[in-house]
Amino acid sequence: MGENLPSGQAGKFNKYFLYAIGEIILVVIGILIALSINNWNEERQQNSKTESLIAGLKKQTEENLVSTNWSIKQTKQVNKDIASLLLMFGKPIEKSQHSNIDSLVNQISFDFYSYLNLSTLQEAQDNGEISFIKNDSLKFLLYNTSSISRLIKEREKVINNDKNTYLVPFLYQNINRKNIQTNTNEKLKNKIGESLLNKNDYSSLLSNTKFENLVLSRYNYSEDMIGIYESLKKFLNDLLELLEGESLNK
């Protein structure tokens, strides 16, 4: 096109053409720089969100470890008390032992219970924030936390329902619950008084095969739950270690 123009006009055309090309290049470079800055800002904002999420998950996991340690401690105490009661079956019972037996019988009605606060994790799963965590091992544990919690709650429900179906009806028929509660709680005794009805005949009760089987069942369940809670503790410790590693890398 510039070849058919006079030399002066051709020179001007070439200058305009080069100028236009230069303008286009500058615009493209400007767009690329703007996109790069925008992407950098978005990445920085997302990294900030992820750091906050890691901090929140770390705090929540530490709290859940405290709660799990409490469940382990309580369940081990119940397990120990049930074992002590099992050792008394078929043996002569002295009246001086009744107060101790009241306490042990009270323990076999214990509900197995654990509590995990998963609010931060649940929110992060719902809004997709977990996917921005780069550590695959950490993401794997986080994605499995809710499932593990659900399985534990289901197991606790089965065991507690078994107690309410078999043990509790037996206790209602064969022992005086008011005496047990007031003998193990002085404040309650002052409020409602001791039962004036039949006292507990522990010599007979601890010679009852059905009761021994029910208590043994509770012992086995407590052993089961100790193992489950210990496994949960290990899982949470592994999770906390990865979360702390992520915090240090930021």
What pLDDT shows up at residue 2?
Answer: 47
Distance separating the N- and C-terminal Cα atoms of the chain:
59
Q: What whole-number distance in Å separates Cα of residue 44 and Cα of residue 88?
A: 66
- Checking phi first, is residue 195 left (phi over 0); if not, alpha (psi -120 to 50) or beta? beta
Q: What number of other Cβ atoms are within 10 A of residue 81's Cβ?
A: 21
| Tens-level pLDDT at each residue, the chain (250 residues) | 445 545 555 566 566 766 777 777 777 777 777 677 766 666 666 667 888 899 999 999 999 999 999 999 999 999 999 999 999 999 988 877 888 888 898 889 889 999 999 999 999 999 888 988 889 999 999 999 999 999 999 999 999 999 999 999 999 998 888 888 887 788 888 888 887 787 778 888 999 999 999 999 999 999 999 999 999 999 999 999 999 988 656 5
Question: How far does Cα 34 stand from its chain's mean position?
Answer: 44
Token couple for 146: 């809710």
Q: What whole-number distance in Å separates Cα of residue 52 and Cα of residue 127?
A: 14
* Amino acid at position 89, single letter: F
What pLDDT shows up at residue 18?
Answer: 66
Yes or no: say if 170 and 210 are a contact pair by the CB < 8 Å rule.
yes
Q: Find, among 122, 126, 111, 120, the residue nearest to 222 by Cα.
A: 111
Q: How many CA atoms lie within 13 A of 83 on its CB side?
A: 9
